[in-house]
Amino acid sequence: MSLNIKLGAIRGSLGRLKCSFRPNNNLRLGSTMTKVNGNSYFQRYCEKDVWNLVNEAAADAASNPKNANREIINLGQGYFTHPSPDFVIEEAKKALDVQPLNQYAPPRGTPNLVKALTDFYSPIYGRQLGPENVQVTTGANEGILSCLVGLLNAGDEVILIEPFFDQYVWNIIMVGGVVRYVPMHQPKDISNRVTEGPEWQIDYEKLAATITDKTKAIILNNPHNPLAKVFTREELLKIGNLCVENNVYIIADEVYENLYYGDSFTKIATLSPEIGQLTLSVGSAGKLFAVTGWRVGWVISENPGLLDLVNRAHTRICFCSPTPLQEACAKSLQVALHSDYTKVMRKDYITKAKILTDALDDIGVTYTRPEGAYFIMADFSKFKIPEDFKFPLEFQNKALDYKLVYWLLNEIGIVFIPCSASYSAEHCDSNISLLRLAFCKDDAALHRAANRLRSLKEYL
C-alpha cells in the first residue's frame, strides 16, 4: 500500500472543487512573512476551510454593535450545548480513578468496549458478532480516514454523493485518492415549499456510469449530513447491489444511526450477505452520547479481513484511542442497550427541530423536513441583503450562501453553514441560498434563535 500523494491526482480532484480553493504559498509566522517549503497539499491547495472561515467570522461578529448585548448562537457546527447524559459523565469520572485505564489501550479497542459494541450491534445484524468484527477508532472521522488508508492506493477513485460532508474530500485526497461526484437531484420547487427527504433522488444512471475499474469505494452518509435525509431500504438496495456487481467497497458513515424520526433505520450492511462483506460501517459515541470532544468512534464489518486493513491503518495513524473514555463508552452502551435512552433522545430531537421549523414557517423560509440527524437545510433565497452592506475581503468573492451566512451572523447573531461547501465546483451553483442549521442545542438557545429568525421578516 502506498501513501504517497500524487500531485496529478490531487489537481484532478481539486480542479473540480475550485470554488473552494485559493492558492496560498506563504504562512505568517509572528510578524515575519516567511517562505515555507511544506507539503503541497496543505500549502498550495488546502485553503482556510468553511469551518475556520465561519468561526473566525463569528468571533469578529461579536464586536458588532448589534451583538453587543447578546451572545452569538452557533447553529452552524454540530456540537451540543445541552448537557451530556449524567450516566455517561459519571462513568468517565469513575474510569479516570482506575490507574490502568490511564494507559494505552489495545489498538482494536478495550475488551469492554469491543464486547459492548458486539452486544449493541448483534441484534441489529441478526447474528452474534465477535471481536474480529469491531475496530474502535479515535472518533468517526479517524475511522473513515483509517478505512481510506487501509483501502486506497494512489490513484484509486472514491465516489461521493452530493451534497456531502466536506471532510470526506480531504481524507480521500490526503491518501492519494481521486474523488468522483454523483449528485442527488433536488426538488425543482425547493424555494417555494417544504420538501421531503425522498424527493432528493440519487442519479443512479450517473452513479453506474461513474464506476470504473479504478473505483475502490463509495462513501454513503446515512442519515445524511447536511440534508438530514434517511435513505429508504429500496434506495440502499440499489446502491448496495450496484457495489456488489462492481466489487466496490461501501464506507457507510452512520454516525447519526440512532437519530431517525421515522419508524426504523436500515443499515446497508444488513441488506444481504454480499453487501455486508463489502461494507465498513462507521459509528460515533460523540453523536450517541453528546460527547463530541471525547473522540471515540468505531467501525463494524462482517468481513474480518476487510476490517483488518482498517486496524492496520488505525494502528499506524494513532495506535489507540483514549482508554478511560472507551471504558465510559462501554458502560454507557450497556445502559443504552437495556433502556429507552435512544427512544427518548429521538423524541427530544423532534421537539428541538420543531422549535426552529415553526420559526422558519412563520417567516416563509422553506426547508427539507429532517428525517434524521440534527440538521435542517433551509432556503434563504427570499431575503435581500442590503446593497450597502460591507463584506470583508474573504467573503467578497464567495458564493451567495457564504454572504448570507456573514450577513445573518451580523444581523441576528446566528451562525449558519453555507451548503455550497458540500458540493463540487460543477454543482455548487445549483442552489446558492441553502444554509444548514444544527438543532443539537439546549432548548433555551433554540427558542432565542427562533425569535431572532422571526425578526428577519423586515428583509422579505
Secondary structure of 181-210 in the HEC alphabet?
Answer: EEEEECCCCCCCCCECHHHCEECHHHHHHH
Whether 16 maps to a domain, the answer reads: no
306 and 373, same domain (yes or no): no
296 and 208, same domain (yes or no): yes
Last residue in a domain, options 318, 338, 358: 338
190 and 310, same domain (yes or no): yes
- How confident is the model at residue 20, as a pLDDT? 44
Cis upstream peptide for 223 (omega within 30°):
yes
Stated pTM of the model:
0.92
- How confident is the model at residue 5, as a pLDDT? 42
Whether 20 maps to a domain, the answer reads: no
149 and 208, same domain (yes or no): yes
Q: What is the CATH number of the domain that holds 242?
A: 3.40.640.10
307 and 363, same domain (yes or no): no
If one counts every other C-beta atom within 10 angstroms of the C-beta of residue 12, the result is: 16
- How confident is the model at residue 280, as a pLDDT? 99
284, 253 in Cβ contact below 8 A?
A: no
- How confident is the model at residue 458, as a pLDDT? 87
Sign of CA dihedral 139, 145, 146, 151: positive
264 and 371, same domain (yes or no): no
pLDDT digits (tens), the chain, 460 positions: 444 444 444 445 544 554 443 444 444 445 566 788 888 777 766 667 888 899 999 999 988 898 888 999 999 999 999 999 999 999 999 999 999 999 999 999 999 999 999 999 999 999 999 999 999 999 999 999 999 999 999 999 999 999 999 999 999 999 999 999 999 999 999 999 999 999 999 999 999 999 999 999 999 999 999 999 999 999 999 999 999 999 999 999 999 999 999 999 999 999 999 999 999 999 999 999 999 999 999 999 999 999 999 999 999 999 999 999 999 999 999 999 999 999 999 999 999 999 999 999 999 999 999 999 999 999 999 999 999 999 999 999 899 999 999 999 999 999 999 999 999 988 887 778 999 999 999 999 999 999 999 999 988 8
Contacts 24+ apart (CB under 8 A), 404-409: 404/380, 404/433, 404/435, 405/54, 405/57, 405/76, 405/435, 406/57, 408/380, 408/435, 408/456, 409/54, 409/57, 409/58, 409/61, 409/72
191 and 273, same domain (yes or no): yes
Contacts of 283 (CB under 8 A, 6+ apart): 140, 143, 254, 255, 257, 297, 298, 299, 300
334 and 348, same domain (yes or no): no
Whether 359 maps to a domain, the answer reads: yes
165, 251 in Cβ contact below 8 A?
A: no
Q: Give the residues across from 300 on adjacent strands.
A: 134, 281
Minimal CA–CA distance to 289: which of 330, 231, 338, 347? 330
- How confident is the model at residue 309, as a pLDDT? 99
How far the first Cα of the chain sits from its last, in Å, is 55
Q: What is the CATH number of the domain that holds 425?
A: 3.90.1150.10
Last residue in a domain, options 338, 368, 385: 338
- How confident is the model at residue 1, as a pLDDT? 43
Whether 450 maps to a domain, the answer reads: yes
Whether 111 maps to a domain, the answer reads: yes
96 and 69, same domain (yes or no): no
239, 279 in Cβ contact below 8 A?
A: no
71 and 208, same domain (yes or no): no
If one counts every other C-beta atom within 10 angstroms of the C-beta of residue 393, the result is: 6
230 and 257, same domain (yes or no): yes
Helix (H, G, I), strand (E, B) or coil at 267: coil
Last residue in a domain, options 338, 358, 383: 338
Whether 11 maps to a domain, the answer reads: no
Domain encompassing residue 319: 87-338
314 and 372, same domain (yes or no): no
Whether 23 maps to a domain, the answer reads: no
Count structural domains, the chain.
2
| Rounded Cα–Cα distance for residues 292 and 146 (Å) | 19
Whether 36 maps to a domain, the answer reads: no
